Amino acid sequence: MALFSSSTRDLPSVAAVPGHVAVIMDGNGRWAKKRFLPRVAGHVKGVELVREMVRACLERGVQYLTLFAFSSENWRRPQEEVSLLMQLFVKALEQEVDKLDRNGVRLRVIGDLSRFDPHLQTLIRKGEEKTAGNTRLDLTIAANYGGRWDIMQAVNRMLADQPEKRDGWLEADLEPYLSMSFAPEPDLFIRTGGEERISNFLLWQLAYTELYFTPTLWPDFDTAEFDKAIASYQQRERRFGRTSEQLAKTHA
Ligand code: IPE
Ligand code: IPE
Ligand code: MG
């Protein structure tokens, strides 16, 4: 069984603050282009906004923050941009892990890390180990991550663990093998940059998540913008397949 039961089976009321926020940080390139700067300048600014977002989550009591930093499809970008993104990732880990640790943040990186260079893999492992005891905020970076990859690696590991079992598999059998098995499903999904698509992010886990799309580019997505997303979330009625009337009774 997964540590947390699926939000599609429970009936949580919309809390003042979403417990788990998942974000596609998009629009760095366009932000730079508008300023006649190279795309990487947008990524550099984007890292600053990650810092601000972590601070905002700590202040607001968000327990899980999951950020899509690099998709399995982003390798298709020009080699120079990919390599600059990797350098930024290394630099961010070198500079930020101690600060995260001091602030009680637990860092995890999900995705197929085998394609990253060994130095980056070591930094990731060390950052995860150093912060493993922290409980104030669970910060997860999705890197070389793809929702379909995640489901397939989970299926493969599940089948390998019980080769004698042929059928009758349940959702709950698969869930412990998914990369996000340690967390409840996201309550609020945010995508900046105007695109209204999931781009192979957490496909399994977003089944009943409230979706928020904003044209604001990621480097402009400051705390005030985050609060707008939370305010929008607070207006939603999460029914999980039920009717409004049923909800009124449950919460009465
Ligand atoms: C998101 O910004 C960051 C990554 C995908 C690494 P983009 O680089 O996709 O920015 P746009 O969409 O081109 O503006
Ligand atoms: C999605 O952004 C992935 C990340 C933000 C890491 P993209 O900019 O790569 O997405 P598409 O290609 O426009 O869907
Ligand atoms: Mg983009």
Protein residue closest via CA to atom 1 of ligand 2: 199
228, 192 contact by CB (below 8 A): no
Q: Is residue 109 part of a domain?
A: yes
At residue 248, the pLDDT reads 82
Protein residue closest via CA to atom 8 of ligand 2: 26
Q: Is residue 11 part of a domain?
A: no
At residue 108, the pLDDT reads 98
pLDDT tens digit at each of 252 positions of the chain: 334 445 555 555 556 899 999 999 999 999 999 999 999 999 999 999 999 999 999 999 999 999 999 999 999 999 999 999 999 999 999 999 999 999 999 999 999 999 999 999 999 999 999 999 999 999 999 999 999 999 999 999 999 999 999 899 999 999 999 999 999 999 999 999 999 999 999 999 999 999 999 999 999 999 999 999 999 999 998 888 888 888 888 766
Catalytic residue list = 26, 74
Q: Is residue 165 part of a domain?
A: yes
Ligand 3 is an ion; its neighbours by CB within 5 Å are: 26
- 30 labelled binding-site residue: yes
pLDDT single digits (tens) 85-95? 999 999 999 99
Closest-lying ligand to the alpha carbon of 70?
2
Residue 109: give its domain's CATH number.
Answer: 3.40.1180.10
At residue 5, the pLDDT reads 45
At residue 42, the pLDDT reads 98
| Nearest atom within ligand 1 for CA of residue 31 | 14
At residue 229, the pLDDT reads 98
Q: Is residue 251 part of a domain?
A: no
The CA 170 to ligand 2 mean position distance, Å, reads: 31
Closest-lying ligand to the alpha carbon of 24?
2
pTM greater than the 0.85 cutoff: yes
Q: Is residue 8 part of a domain?
A: no
Q: Is residue 93 part of a domain?
A: yes
At residue 10, the pLDDT reads 58
pLDDT single digits (tens) 194-234? 999 999 999 999 999 999 999 999 999 999 999 999 999 99
- 157 labelled binding-site residue: no
Whole domain around residue 104: which residue ranges?
20-234
φ, ψ dihedrals at 70, nearest 5°? -160, 120
At residue 242, the pLDDT reads 87
Looking at the structure of the chain, the number of domains it has is 1
Q: Which of 68, 74, 198, 202 to mutate to test the pocket of ligand 2 (most atoms within 8 A of CB)?
A: 74
Q: Is residue 106 part of a domain?
A: yes
At residue 1, the pLDDT reads 35
The CA 34 to ligand 1 mean position distance, Å, reads: 13
